[in-house]
Structure 1
């Protein structure tokens, strides 16, 4: 868990926000900037997964292959994220949870659920400077989608319960941040007529 420092932009809110999307969508960039502006902690499922890999002396792809062999690693990670969501869902304090399943795992505890995406060629270009190759990214996406469906009967393509769905290829990083910032600052719980129900999953 990380706590960001002060920002030139401040957002006065107590919202619990989840940020999700495929590799290269800009979820980490947005989460870091939001946490900075909101002055709150944020947890990344990717960071936790990478920590699991390091603890086991594996690289990311080796851990993905290991995760494909059994549900132990995935369920441990998801259970941890769900526990974090439960804690912050009751805290009435601002918090950012970022992972592919963050919206599902937080469920009704989250105040705002965001899905980011971009065309595949854009996302591939964005991960050029990462250790993960284009092919590895595609393998990871297919592998994760299969595991989510197998373990929890989750269709990762179901975006119906997200409050915001943003194509990050259409705006700059600052533009995406400002879109979300406006949504947070304009949110009025007294005028909120209700979110879509998030399907419940059992870890």
Structure 2
């Protein structure tokens, strides 16, 4: 049984296009895999696209990250691919999950539900201890990315005002967090929705 299957045996019938965003170690991968299983739908993550870009350029992830710091080419290539995916699934009327730091911004009004995840720094560092990055590198990358997004697109990644759900993932178990998200999805009624936050498309 996969980790996603182990989280819940709950299934939800939905056609929502959902974005999930947050900093490294926020728990996005775990939640997204659980959602994809429960909704029986597709999932694309920015990390997967980033790794694809690295393979296409015959570079390691560290090399591609360094390259992204030098110019806007990598960020814009990544974000254009994510925007294309968002455009496809935003018009498909089928359940789909797009996960990346900027997924909510890139999907814009195509997204039916935008989720932001976070956790205290020490928790996120502990969760990423087995990854290639060290704590200092993770913090430097976060600051660097935030500066680039502001410079390229005028995006403040700390702005959570347009997200529909914001969760501190350190306060609940993965099972409980998944249940919260699935309940919101199952109970969503577009005809009763009076709180959709309209956004302008990001100029890529």
Shorter-chain TM-score above 0.5: yes
Q: TM-score, normalised by structure 2?
A: 0.93
Give the Cα separation in 1 of the matches to 2:122 and 2:200: 31
Q: CA deviation at 1:24?
A: 0.1
Aligned counterparts, 1:136-151, within 5 A: 136-151=137-152
Give the Cα separation in 1 of the matches to 2:156 and 2:40: 33
Aligned counterparts, 1:31-50, within 5 A: 31-50=32-51
Aligned to 2:176: 175
Give the Cα separation in 1 of the matches to 2:200 and 2:103: 12
Pair 1:19 & 2:20 matched = yes
Which blocks of at least 5 consecutive residues in structure 1 are unaligned? none
Q: Deviations over 1:65-106 (max 9, x none)?
A: 101111111111100100110010010000000000000000
Q: Which structure 1 residue ranges, 4+ long, deviate > 6 Å from structure 2?
A: none
**Count of paired positions:** 200
Give the Cα separation in 1 of the matches to 2:66 and 2:130: 22
Give the Cα separation in 2 of the matches to 1:27 and 1:143: 20
RMSD, aligned CA: 1.6
Which blocks of at least 5 consecutive residues in structure 2 are unaligned? none
Give the Cα separation in 1 of the matches to 2:102 and 2:64: 18
Give the Cα separation in 2 of the matches to 1:64 and 1:50: 10
Aligned to 1:95: 96
SS in 2 for 1:43: strand
Q: TM-score, normalised by structure 1?
A: 0.94
